[in-house]
């Protein structure tokens, strides 16, 4: 029998036989075993049921970490699917989008789910959890996997197998229920003690804990405007017949890509046109504030909206928030002692509001610039004044926060929230997180224009998302309108750029697990060449070749 060496977080090692289960060494992780939800094996995240057959460095993944939360939520989704299969055999459970700390689901009954149905489903989930049933992984042939999915029935997933054709598949199993393996799950159902189901719209929400408080159900905070945007795009996807990776792959295979791209771009342009009309109909808007998380396409959207406003008689002028940073020595620092350029206090709010007030009174202002090397504001002689048909566009992460513009009357402000809210799913039961769409965009952009590796972008992503949770997401409901900047064809385009970058992340790097996960996601899509992307598409902001100047 082959002998392998396992190295633990405290530096100690263990000589053991190949095929040793992670569960058998979990007490060597240096933490209470009940807090460990998975283990990193050479920087790849693995289920606790995994058997190790090579020399490996091991690190625990805890429930209170982002990766631990992801595993917990995916496992809840798996148990929900198993419960639905038992309660409603022959009916398709369909995952939708996220809404706060929850995922939206529907059953294909043609009518809204009843409270009685939901109680039945919740009780069955609780029964499976109380039994503490092992969740195992198995390997099945292509033919057996296809037969299993067709019998489920998981129609979308079985169709997707036409485009993902390895000779065998890894599947997750819970008693008689099986689903394709996408990511590690918890080792048994008993771990999943905290969850809830709640009727919402025509479907229901699967609710789960936050990362910060993994054993407590958070208060439900509704975001109806965000839900409505999602629903609009979901319904649009159904109308054009593209709601999943399989549908998109089928279009690509049948060489209908160009027509689909034209339809997607036209629909997004219509949404921007509608926003310009809303601004015009308000009549007294003087400044358009655009905010959104990283890689949501704020810059291109600003330019497209400017063109649309010009088309209806306005003369947009842009104020760049970055030029209002305070001097470097006055910039706040974060908990790690680094300069925090994302907090509101990093901006000279007083000067910004003075300049805006002067502009609205038809006074001329000096337009600042900012020297990022020296950390100083400078004035180059550039000035600005607002004429009768001029309108300001101000783009930045704090745009929806009224503390940014406290001296500007509410009736002067029109606020737009952007995000890349992809309506596509991988299949019936597996969604594509919005943050993944944006992370892939950013990996490509950072490589194209900033010389950063995929590992460097991934390493800072948690910090970026923390900033978004603090400075952007709490103010979503302040928006006058929300715009979805995701394009349903973009992942196959980004795939061409992202895959080579992600493959350069090796198993000795901490970012390897995330890179591997993104590669698995991209593997579900056939590629689309960038030559098909229009010159003014938002995607050009990330891959290059835009007709706009940035």
Tens digit of pLDDT at every position of the chain (550 positions): 799 999 999 999 999 999 999 999 999 998 998 899 999 999 999 999 999 999 999 999 999 899 999 999 999 999 999 999 999 988 889 898 888 899 999 988 767 899 999 999 999 999 999 999 999 998 989 898 888 888 877 777 888 888 888 888 899 999 989 888 888 999 999 999 999 999 998 899 999 999 999 999 999 989 888 889 988 998 899 899 999 999 999 999 999 999 999 999 999 999 999 999 999 999 899 999 999 999 999 999 999 999 999 999 999 998 888 899 999 999 998 888 888 888 999 999 999 999 999 999 999 999 999 888 888 999 999 999 999 899 999 988 899 999 999 999 999 999 999 989 888 998 888 889 989 999 999 999 999 999 999 999 999 998 889 889 889 999 998 999 999 999 999 999 999 999 999 999 999 999 999 999 999 999 999 999 999 999 999 999 999 999 998 7
Give the whole-angstrom CA distance, residue 372 versus residue 326.
11
Q: Looking at residue 119, what is its pLDDT? A: 97
Cβ–Cβ < 8 Å for 538, 498 = no
Contact present, 154 and 179 (Cβ < 8 Å)? yes
CA–CA separation, 278 vs 289, rounded Å? 14
Q: Which two tokens stand for residue 58?
A: 């091991």
Distance CA 91, CA 94 (A): 10
User: The tokens of 74 are what?
Assistant: 């995916």
- The closest of 166, 114, 119 to 139, measured between CA atoms, is 166
pLDDT of residue 396: 87
Joined together, the tokens standing for residue 24 give 């058998």
Measured CA to CA, the distance from residue 125 to residue 239 in angstroms comes to: 33
Of 20, 64, 85, 83, residue with least CA distance to 46: 20
Q: What is the largest CA-CA distance in the chain?
A: 84
CB 538 within 8 A of CB 550: no
β-strands 102-107, 390-395 pairing:
unpaired
Whether 522 and 498 have beta carbons less than 8 Å apart is answered as: yes
From CA 95, how far away is CA 81, in angstroms rounded? 10
What is the distance between the alpha carbons of residues 168 and 92, in angstroms, rounded to a whole number?
25
Q: What is residue 326's predicted lDDT score, i.e. its pLDDT? A: 93
Q: What pLDDT is stored for residue 157 in this prediction?
A: 81
Q: Report yes or no: 94 and 157 within 8 Å, Cβ to Cβ.
A: no
């Amino acid at each position: 029998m082959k002998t392998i060496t396992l190295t633990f977080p405290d530096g100690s090692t263990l000589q053991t036989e190949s095929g040793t289960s992670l569960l058998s060494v979990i007490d060597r992780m240096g933490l209470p075993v009940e807090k460990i939800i998975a283990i990193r094996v050479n920087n790849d995240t693995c289920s606790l049921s995994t058997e190790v057959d090579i020399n490996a460095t091991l690190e625990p993944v805890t429930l209170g970490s982002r990766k631990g939360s992801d595993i917990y939520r995916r496992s809840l989704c798996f148990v929900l699917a198993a419960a639905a299969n038992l309660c409603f055999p022959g009916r398709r459970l369909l995952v939708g989008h996220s809404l706060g700390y929850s995922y939206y689901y529907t059953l294909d009954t043609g009518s809204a789910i009843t409270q009685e149905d939901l109680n039945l489903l919740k009780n069955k989930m609780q029964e499976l959890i109380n039994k503490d049933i092992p969740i195992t992984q198995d390997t099945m042939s292509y033919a057996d996997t296809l037969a299993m999915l067709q019998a489920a029935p998981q129609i979308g997933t079985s169709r997707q197998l036409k485009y993902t054709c390895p000779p065998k598949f890894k599947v997750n199993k819970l008693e008689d229920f099986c689903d394709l393996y996408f990511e590690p799950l918890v080792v048994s159902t008993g771990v999943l003690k905290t969850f809830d189901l709640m009727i919402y719209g025509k479907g229901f929400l699967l609710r789960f804990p936050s990362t910060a408080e993994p054993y407590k159900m958070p208060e439900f905070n509704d975001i109806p405007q965000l839900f409505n945007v999602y629903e609009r795009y979901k319904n649009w996807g159904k109308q054009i017949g593209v709601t999943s990776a399989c549908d998109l792959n089928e279009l690509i295979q049948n060489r209908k890509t160009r027509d689909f791209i034209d339809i997607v771009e036209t629909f997004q342009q219509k949404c921007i046109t509608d926003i310009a009309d809303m601004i015009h109909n308000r009549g007294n808007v003087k400044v358009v504030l655009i905010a959104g998380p990283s890689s949501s396409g704020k810059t291109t959207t600003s330019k497209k909206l400017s063109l649309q406003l010009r088309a209806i008689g306005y003369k947009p002028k842009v104020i760049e928030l970055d030029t209002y940073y305070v001097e470097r020595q006055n910039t706040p620092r974060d908990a790690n002692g680094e300069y925090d350029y994302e907090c509101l206090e990093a901006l000279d709010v007083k000067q910004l509001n003075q300049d805006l007030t002067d502009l609205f009174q038809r006074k001329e202002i000096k337009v600042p610039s900012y020297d990022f090397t020296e950390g100083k504001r400078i004035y180059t002689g550039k000035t600005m004044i607002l004429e009768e048909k001029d309108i300001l566009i101000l783009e930045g992460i704090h745009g929806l926060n009224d503390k940014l513009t406290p001296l500007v009357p509410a009736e002067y402000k029109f606020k737009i929230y952007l995000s890349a809210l992809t309506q596509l799913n991988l299949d019936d039961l597996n969604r594509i997180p919005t943050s993944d769409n944006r992370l892939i965009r950013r990996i490509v952009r950072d490589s194209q224009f900033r010389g950063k590796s995929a590992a460097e972008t991934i390493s800072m992503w948690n910090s970026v998302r923390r900033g978004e949770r603090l400075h952007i997401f709490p103010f979503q409901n302040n928006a006058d309108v929300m715009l979805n900047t995701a394009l349903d064809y973009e992942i196959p385009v980004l795939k061409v750029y992202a895959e080579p970058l992600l493959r350069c992340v090796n198993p000795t790097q901490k970012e390897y697990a995330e890179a591997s996960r993104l590669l698995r996601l991209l593997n579900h899509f056939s590629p689309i060449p960038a030559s098909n992307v229009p010159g003014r598409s938002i995607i050009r902001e990330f891959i290059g070749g835009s007709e706009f100047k940035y």
